Structure 1
Amino acid sequence: MLAKPFEKPIRVWVGLGFPRQLNTVVDAYQFVIDWCGNSPEQKAAIRACKAALAGDIDAETAKGVFVAFARRKDILIEDGAIPPTTMGNTQPKHA
């Protein structure tokens, strides 16, 4: 099965604070190869996704490597995360 679904989707921030859900290894692979950069974490995520698609490792192992990449780039949406557009906005609104 080419799609290799994750048990639980990965959610990442894209653009100006828009969430994107990645449901499969293919989704994660497409995302990471489109990511601008060349970091060791990105290379590891690409290798892990390729290995999962080839059947050399399971989807959840590839997911773990991708999550490490996303966390390092500060784009991973953890459960209960506050959208970046509202973070630090502690001033009260005036009517």
Structure 2
Amino acid sequence: MKHDHFKEAVTILVGMGLPVRLETVMQAYAVLQDWPAATRSNAHAIALNACKAGLAGDIEPETVRATLVAFARRHDILVPDIVSLAPAALAGKPATTSSNS
């Protein structure tokens, strides 16, 4: 794993609801840098500054990830991790391991 990669990717909605998977500090920085000025907030500034510090090696990628997640939650653009939701979605459903022969 490279030094700027997140342990787990963060998926957010951008533009017209397009999901974007962010796996590195640089990817997060690029998205935040391109964020529309009219919708920037204090949470955006904090996340962008964290990305800058992460790129400089001043803070860990997981710290950057945490600020990115906080920003995304604040703006209701965080896409839940489908893998972590799968057990809940499958709860109570019987496993289908046999075939109808």
With normalisation by structure 2, the TM-score equals: 0.72
- Bigger radius of gyration: 2
Query: Residues 3 and 61 of structure 2 are in contact (CA less than 8 Å); yes or no, is this contact kept in structure 1?
Result: no
Structure 1: stretches of 5+ with no match in the other structure: 81-95
Give CA deviations for 1:15-65 in whole Å, capped at 9, x if unaligned. Answer: 333211011000001111111133100000011000011111000001100
Root mean square deviation, CA, Å: 1.6
* Corresponding residue number in structure 2 for 1:20: 20
With normalisation by structure 1, the TM-score equals: 0.76
Identity of aligned residues (%): 44
> 1:20–1:3: structure 2 CA closer, same or farther, 3 Å change rule?
farther
Q: Which segment is superposed worse, 71-80 or 42-51?
A: 71-80
Q: Does residue 62 of structure 1 match 2:61?
A: no
> 1:19–1:38: structure 2 CA closer, same or farther, 3 Å change rule?
closer
Query: Residues 5 and 61 of structure 2 are in contact (CA less than 8 Å); yes or no, is this contact kept in structure 1?
Result: yes
Shift of residue 79 of structure 1? 2.3
Q: Point out the structure with the larger helix share.
A: 2
